[in-house]
Structure formats: structure tokens, C-alpha cells
Amino acid sequence: MSLKTSTLTMEKRLEKSKADQVMQASVAKAQDMQWEKREGARQKLGNWEGWRDLGEQIRQQVLNHLPDYLDEFANNVAERGGHVCFAKDAKEARAYIEKVVSDKKAKRIVKSKSMVTAEIDLDQMIEKMGLQVMETDLAEFILQENDWDEPSHIVFPAIHLNRDNVQDIFKRKLGYTGDNEPVNEARKAREVMRKYFLQADVGITGCNFAIADQGLINLNTNEGNADLTIGIPKTHIVVMGMERIVPSIKEAEVLDNMLARSAVGQDITTYCSFVGPKNNDENDGPEDFHVVIIDNGRSEALGTPLQPVLQCIRCGSCLNVCPVYRHIGGEGYGSLYPGPIGISLTPVLGGYEEFHDLPYACSLCAACDATCPVKIPLHEIITEHRKIMTNDLKMGRGSFNDMQMRVIGAGTGSPFLFNGAMTFAHTGMKMLSHKKPIVVKNLYNNGGFMKMGPGMVKGWTDVRDLPIAPKASHTFRRWFKKRDK
């Protein structure tokens, strides 16, 4: 897996999503359930807006002094006997991990859930090395058994599958003979994983937050698989995006609190661990501890209007309120990071050439801004991407789209032109509305119809009513002017 999860065009992906009723039902159910749990957990904390302000301040403080905190963290890891690699991109990160794994002569690797390892294609690299790798997060395990199916949510990667799908996958791949009860399916997964854990040579995890003044990493899970991944193999490799840092445990405590409530509607996750290299007086834990800190395009956003996207703590709350995500699911985006955070972050990491469609998979309703625990202005970032693309010669300026927007801008910016257009709108639209054949019923004024919008307009008129504008003498503006004051 890498940042790009599909070779289909956006149009084809959307058609596929539209036809996938199981996915739509599963996503809608999960969104509705999460809504209640999340809001309940936030209310329990009290003064949620105050917490959001604090979360935002912590993340901004870190990003504004990122080189200092990264330095401090790396020095403290080294002092504890661990190793840190700063990787410019996915290739450098993979090369470092490949070397560690080869030096250890590892044969089996266990992994806990980590988006950034998927971002750098780590599973595929390990398999190419001829080694065995097992995803130990239950949802990731299901996806692996489903022939490396793509994750479709950043917190619930298998949200597009239901219990029957899981039963089929386990039957096919693991010889499972049980029913479709999630508890029995989880028991089967645990049985397979436990044996594997005991034979693993290397454990690879992500990191929720890296604690700068301690040289520790902080992980939040509900299954305990990350703690087994850390505790059993002799070597632990942490892979993290360069922005996932906090000054001290105090700030991690604030963000853990907000993360659990926003992600899964819990006060705190079942396991909340702070780990580093094994101390001399400890029996358990990894003897070798490596942290790979990945840039992969993130630093390009620093100091630009896109910087706030790096505040993200990957709670997935913005996906859970997004009306577009509700309809197209994760796979519709064709990007490892879906939903509002995905369309804000992915062009930063993967560039506009590859991901120019993504910022348009948004209605700009800003429900994501309102739910984000660290107050990322997601819809502004999405607009900023559109602006960058339109102003870039290759992507927009001078294009038909650009010209169209300029004409509309000039028309709506001038009261003279706007009022003139409104005077003729009724007559003009009446002409358009009589085109045949009839597809969409016009609900205004007793049945005008419009089908054949030219070019791009057709995409709009195929699925929407286009009411005929009222006569100039009946418009709101006229009424407002004449109304009884």
C-alpha cells in the first residue's frame, strides 16, 4: 500500500462506491453510532471548547518549534540507548528499516496499526524481502487476510466490511468454521496471532505522540496488540511522522484525553502506554529500540497556510461527520488517508499532479472544522488547495474552468451586471428548460425541464433540479425593496 490506493479515475471510483450498498450501510451505521458515543464522552469532560483551545495551542506550539522538539526527542532517545533515523522520504525510511531487520536476521515481524507504515509501503517491502509479517490490530489483520484490502478509515480501517464479510474471509483463509458473531471471529483472530507473537523477532509500531523531554513514545490502543508487539520481540522499531511530537507527558495527557473521546467515544483507551528502550534493571522489553522519523513532504507545509494540517492527531472524527465520506466511503477517495483530513493532507504528501481531484471531494460544509478536537480549519485548507491549483499555470490558470469562474466572478462582483443578468434570467432559463429528453423534473413554476447542460454542466444537470429563476418582478430583491418597513 502507498498513498495512492487505486488506479481508477475519480469518476470510476465514485461509480464503484455508489454501487456498494454494504459499504454505505456499514459507514452510515458507524457514523451514527460514533456520533452519540463521541458527543457523550466530550460532554462528560466539560468545557469541551476550552479543551479544544488547549489542544490547538499545544499542536501549534509544537509545529512552530518543530526542529527544537525533534532534536530534544532524538537526544533523549539516544541517551536511553535507542537509535533515531531522520528519513527524508519513504525510500530512506524503508532502507533504514530493511537494514535493521536484515542485521537482526529476522524472519517474522509483527506490526501494530500504523498509517505511516502504510504510507511508506512497509508491509510490501517486508514481503519482498521474503519475510513474514503479521498485522496484529484486528481490523488490519482482517484486511491482510482479505488479500491486503485497503483501509477505508484512519481509526476503523475495516469499516466497509460487516460481520458476514469477516466470516467469509476467515473461512477462506483461516479454515474458520464458526458463526458470524464478532466475539467468535475475534477469538479466532487472537488464536492465530498469539502463536505468531511468540515467534516474532521484530515488532513495528506507529506512535500517537513522541515525548520530547523523555525520549519515550506514547501509544493508545484498545486491543493490547501494540503492547505485545513492543514487549515480546527483541527489537522494536517505531515509525512516526515528524509532526507527532509533544513537549512532555503533560501535553500528551491532554491530547490522549481528547483523542480517545474523539476517536472512539471513550474517556481513555484501554491501553495507554509510554515506552522506550528497555532499562538495564528490566527483564522484559526490546533490547534494541529504533525510531524512524519521517518527513515525506510534511516539512513543505511548515510556514505556509497549509501548516495547520500537521496539527492532526488522527482521531478520525472529521470522517465520522463528513457527508461525502458517508456516501463514498474510504475507497472512493483512492487515497490512504480519506475524508476531510485525507483530502487536506494527501496533496501535501503526494503532490497535486497525482491527487488534484481530492480537494474537490468536499461540499465545504465545514462539519469537519466543528468536530476537530485541535481546531484545524479543514475547509479553509481544502479551499487553499483549490486556490493553489487554480493559480498554478499547469493546473488551472487559463483553463476553461478558470475562465468560467472569472466570468462568474466579474458578473457577481458588479451590481450592474448582476441585476442585468437577473432581469434576463427568467427568459433565458425558460429556453434551456425545454430541452429534451426529460430527466430531472423541475420543481419550480410547474415543470420546466433541463437535461442537456453542455460539458461540465451536464454533470450537474444530470442529478439536480435547475429551477427557472423567478420573473424579475417577483424576485426577493424586489420584494425586499418594496416591503412594508
Beta-bridge partners for 216: 211
On whether the CB atoms of residues 186 and 139 are closer than 8 A, the answer is no
**Among residues 346 and 371, whose Cβ is nearest to ligand SF4?**
371
CB of 87 to ligand SF4, least distance (A): 22
Considering the complex, what minimum distance in angstroms separates the CB of residue 314 from ligand SF4? Answer: 5
Calpha distance 253→274 (Å, rounded): 11
185 touches 163 (CB < 8 A)? yes
Closest CA to 113 of 206, 23, 4, 37: 206
Strands 202-205 and 235-241: parallel
Q: Which C-beta is closer to ligand SF4: that of 286 or that of 340? A: 340
| Strands 202-205 and 108-111, bridge-based pairing | parallel
Of 233 and 339, the one with the shorter C-beta distance to ligand SF4 is 339
For residue 20, the minimal CB distance to ligand SF4 (Å) is: 23
Among candidate residues 165, 97, 157, 156, the one with its CA nearest the CA of residue 131:
97
Count the residues in the chain.
Answer: 485
Residues 122 and 109: their CA atoms lie apart, in Å, by 11
Nearer to ligand SF4, 286 or 377 (CB): 377
Q: Which residues contact ligand SF4 (rule: CB under 6 A)?
A: 262, 312-318, 341, 371-374, 376, 378
What is the Rg, in whole angstroms, of the alpha carbon atoms belonging to the chain?
26
Q: Give how far the C-alpha of residue 402 lies from the chain's centroid of Cα atoms, to the nearest Å.
A: 29
**Hey, what's the cell of 151?**
483501509
Q: In whole angstroms, how close is the CB of 69 to ligand SF4 at the nearest point? A: 19
**Min. distance of Cβ 32 from ligand SF4 in angstroms?**
17
Angle at alpha carbon of residue 428, lines to 423 and 433, rounded to 5°:
135
Is the CB of 251 or the CB of 288 nearer to ligand SF4?
A: 251
| Nearer Cβ to ligand SF4 (58/466) | 58
The three-state secondary structure class of 346 is: helix
Q: Is-cis flag, bond preceding 437, omega within 30?
A: yes
Min dist. Cβ of residue 50 to ligand SF4 (A): 17
Residue 73 C-beta: closest distance to ligand SF4, Å = 21
**For residues 374 and 469, which CB has a smaller minimum distance to ligand SF4 in the complex?**
374
C-alpha neighbours within 13 Å on the C-beta side of residue 13: 21
User: How far apart are the C-alpha atoms of 210 and 290, rounded to whole Å?
Assistant: 13
Whole-number minimum distance, CB 376 to ligand SF4, in Å? Answer: 5
Give dist(CA 478, CA 449) in Å, integer: 26
Q: Half-sphere exposure of residue 36, counting CA atoms within 13 Å on the CB side?
A: 4
C-alpha cell read off for 292: 524512524
Q: Nearer to ligand SF4 by C-beta: 41 or 315?
A: 315
Task: Map residue 248 onto helix, strand or coil.
Answer: coil
Residue 132 makes CB contacts below 8 A (sequence gap 6+) with 107, 108, 109
- Specify the residue, 286 or 359, whose C-beta has the smaller distance to ligand SF4: 359
- Find the shortest distance in angstroms from Cβ 244 to ligand SF4: 12
**In this complex, which beta carbon is closest to ligand SF4, that of residue 158 or of residue 230?**
158
In whole angstroms, the minimum distance from the beta carbon of 319 to ligand SF4 comes to 7
